[in-house]
């Protein structure tokens, strides 16, 4: 679930950065949330298998 969320956020970040030429900090929050989602996916994924 977190991996899919991360992929969606990364695609939204790329779309917002390229299409709208937004260089502000807010568009980079999507990338930060995507990285957090990927980290949570691996942390919770390994905990769920145990």
What stretches of 1-50 adopt beta strand conformation (E)? Answer: none
Q: What confidence score (pLDDT) does residue 6 get?
A: 86
Q: What confidence score (pLDDT) does residue 34 get?
A: 86
Q: What confidence score (pLDDT) does residue 22 get?
A: 59
pLDDT interval class at 49 (50, 70, 90): low
Cα dist from 18 to 23, 43, 50, whole Å: 10, 31, 41
What confidence tens digit (pLDDT) does each residue in 18-46 have?
777 656 777 778 788 888 888 888 888 76
Distance, CA of 32 to CA of 46 (rounded, Å): 22
pTM over 0.85: no
Place of tokens 């917002």: 16
Higher pLDDT, 12 or 27: 12
5 in Cβ contact with 37 (< 8 Å): yes
């Amino acid at each position: 679930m977190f991996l899919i969320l991360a992929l969606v956020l990364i695609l939204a970040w790329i779309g917002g950065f390229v299409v709208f030429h937004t260089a502000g900090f807010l568009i980079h929050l999507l990338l930060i949330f995507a990285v957090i989602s990927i980290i949570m996916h691996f942390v919770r994924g390994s905990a769920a298998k145990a």
